[in-house]
Amino acid sequence: MSADPGAALAALAVHDPERGVRTVGLEGLQAFCLEHGLSLPQGARVAVNQALMPLPLLKNLHALSMADQAKLLHASVLLVGAGGLGGYALELLSRFGVGRITVADGDVFEESNLNRQLLSSADNLGQNKARAGAKRASRTSPLVSVEALDFFLDESNLCAALGDVDIVVDALGGIRFRRALRVAASQAGVPVVGAAVAGWTALVGSELPGQTGISTMWTGSDARDAERVLGSLAPAACLAASLQAAEAVQYLITGDLRLAGRMLHADLSSFAFTLYDLA
Amino acid sequence: MRIHVKCFATLADHSPPGGFLELAEGATVQTMLPDLGLGPDDIKLVFINSRNSSLENVLADGDQVGLFPAVGGG
């Protein structure tokens, strides 16, 4: 074993003249991690710390800098919900290379999820959504670590789940629990990126600790949720989750939330996009 | 005065024809609701000119009002 793992990894790197960066492939990284007793996510962090770009993340350059990618690989996100929003959010956050993602959902897949939920399939009906997400991410994004919590978060376990988290992505369905999530996140000093959908409608907004924005929407009971009337369409869920992922990743890189105290409304029946001020 | 009104999601069918309502001076969002066939319980968020407002807000000529029900689907 080399005394300096970083130097050992650098010896495996290849120069990419087109992008002006040194890269390391998955196979080399796996061999390196095996030799040094590291997990692949740990190995990926060693690589970016040495300014070596793991090939699975190469196309994140140069929209992201090497330093940005290093921040993401060291970041931690709590994703609450692995359904319509959460499945796509998990896909995007893991493919971005967000190093540690905890995904929580106590629900199991049912047939009516198949019109929109990325993680659902005809052969995993009845299986837990969070575990299905972690399983998929382990195949698509081996450089990140995804932990599944196969139970619903509530006031009794939120505090533990929020420990050491940089940002929360609220991908919950329904209204009832969303305020409690914000209260706990606010107490933990963690911002929340939320979204909700109904039919062709997608809403996305962020809240800093102590700030009330989009969650103004979520008082009262689930009975008045427009989703119960309009259902939920795949493009609205996918778009809302994409916006959440972009917002969360930009926060992890820059520390700024573009939608803090605001709400972006997309009406995909008319292609109208409007920003509202809620702060 | 002329007010532009847009109702969203489950309320979309309540948007006035052409998108405009003619209202008397001093009208509020709440006093406008019967003209739309809506009641206060139908509304979760009110925006006037893209800013968070309430049912009690007095309207001015040319205001753009957006009305949302609760949307919570995930």
pLDDT, tens digit, for every residue of A196-227? 999 999 999 999 999 999 999 998 888 889 99
**A11: CB partners within 8 A, 6+ apart:** none
Asked if the peptide bond before residue A62 counts as cis, ω within 30 degrees of 0, the response is: yes
Mean local confidence (pLDDT), A176-201: 96
Which stretches of A91-248 are assigned E, i.e. beta strand?
100-104, 145-149, 167-170, 192-198, 201-207
Indicate whether A200 belongs to any domain: yes
- Give how far A56 is from chain B: nearest CA, Å: 29
* Amino acid type, A90: L
CA dist B53 → A160, A175, A196, A202, B33 (Å): 36, 21, 20, 21, 15
Which chain A residues have any C-beta within 8 angstroms of a chain B C-beta? 81, 83-86, 171-175, 178, 195-199, 201, 203, 216-220, 222, 224-227, 229-230, 232, 237, 265, 267, 269, 274-279
Could you list the residue range(s) of the whole structural domain that residue A30 is in? 5-63
pLDDT in tens, A236-273: 999 999 999 999 999 999 999 999 999 999 999 999 99
Indicate whether A69 belongs to any domain: no
- Residue to substitute from A116, A168, A197, interface B, most B β-carbons within 10 A: A197
ipTM: 0.94
Question: Cα(A178)–Cα(A180) distance, rounded to whole angstroms?
Answer: 6
pLDDT in tens, B23-70: 999 999 999 999 999 999 999 999 999 999 999 999 999 999 999 999
In contact, A54 and A47? CB cutoff 8 Å = yes
Mean pLDDT of chain A: 96
Question: Cα(A43)–Cα(A63) distance, rounded to whole angstroms?
Answer: 23
In contact, A100 and A145? CB cutoff 8 Å = yes
| Chain A contact for B51 (CB, 8 A cutoff) | yes
Tell whether A83 and A182 lie within a shared domain.
yes
Does the CA dihedral A84-A158-A228-A226 come out positive or negative? negative
- Cβ-Cβ contacts under 8 Å, B73 against chain A: 84, 173-174, 196-198, 225-227, 230, 232, 237
Question: Cα(A177)–Cα(A241) distance, rounded to whole angstroms?
Answer: 19
Indicate whether A68 belongs to any domain: no
Tell whether A163 and A30 lie within a shared domain.
no
Provide the pLDDT for residue A67.
97
Tell whether A79 and A59 lie within a shared domain.
no
- Cβ-Cβ contacts under 8 Å, B52 against chain A: 216, 276-279
In contact, B40 and B33? CB cutoff 8 Å = yes
pLDDT in tens, A82-108: 999 999 999 999 999 999 999 999 999
Domain CATH for A208: 3.40.50.720
Cα angle A73, A77, A78; round to 5: 155
Secondary-structure breakdown of chain A: helix, strand, coil percentages, each rounded to the nearest 5: 40, 20, 35
Tell whether A134 and A270 lie within a shared domain.
yes
Question: Tokens representing B40?
Answer: 């206060």
The CATH code that applies to domain B2-68 is 3.10.20.30
Q: Is the pLDDT at A5 greater than 90, yes or no?
A: no
Q: Is residue B50 packed enough to be buried (19+ CB in 10 Å), middle (13-18) or exposed (0-12)?
A: middle
Number of domains in chain A: 2
Q: Is the pLDDT at A1 greater than 50, yes or no?
A: no
Question: Cα(A274)–Cα(A212) distance, rounded to whole angstroms?
Answer: 19
**A64: CB partners within 8 A, 6+ apart:** A72, A253
- Cβ-Cβ contacts under 8 Å, A225 against chain B: 70-73
- Residue to substitute from A224, A233, A259, A277, interface B, most B β-carbons within 10 A: A224
Tell whether A174 and A231 lie within a shared domain.
yes
Tell whether A37 and A164 lie within a shared domain.
no
